[in-house]
Amino acid sequence: MAFNIEEVNNVIGGQTAKVESELKAFQRSMDPNSQQDLLKFQYMMNRWNLVTNLQSNTIKTMKETLQSTIRNMV
């Protein structure tokens, strides 16, 4: 199975957009004085950070692997 950067970006990017949308919706409706809402917001921010880093690191790793392969072919 070959990896396609565009496909990986679309799949993970879709998850990133979904998590970001959920985060924005919660942010608009949350009570900043509620400890429960603040904890949920922190959890959602951590989840968004994780998915965003996953997308970034996956694409970076694929790029570096392809560059290394091309260097070895020359």
DSSP string, 10-72: HHHHHHHHHHHHHHHHHHHH--TT-HHHHHHHHHHHHHHHHHHHHHHHHHHHHHHHHHHHHHH
> Is it the case that residue 2 has pLDDT exceeding 80?
no
Q: Let me know how long the chain is.
A: 74
Topology at the third CATH level for domain 5-73: Methane Monooxygenase Hydroxylase; Chain G, domain 1 (1.20.58)
**Can you give the residue ranges of every domain in the chain?**
5-73
Q: What's the pLDDT at 13? A: 86
The answer to whether the beta carbons of residues 52 and 18 sit under 8 Å apart is: no
For 7-25, how does the pLDDT look when each residue is reduced to its tens digit (9 = 90+)? Answer: 888 888 899 999 999 999 9
Report, as an integer, the average pLDDT of 22-48. Answer: 97
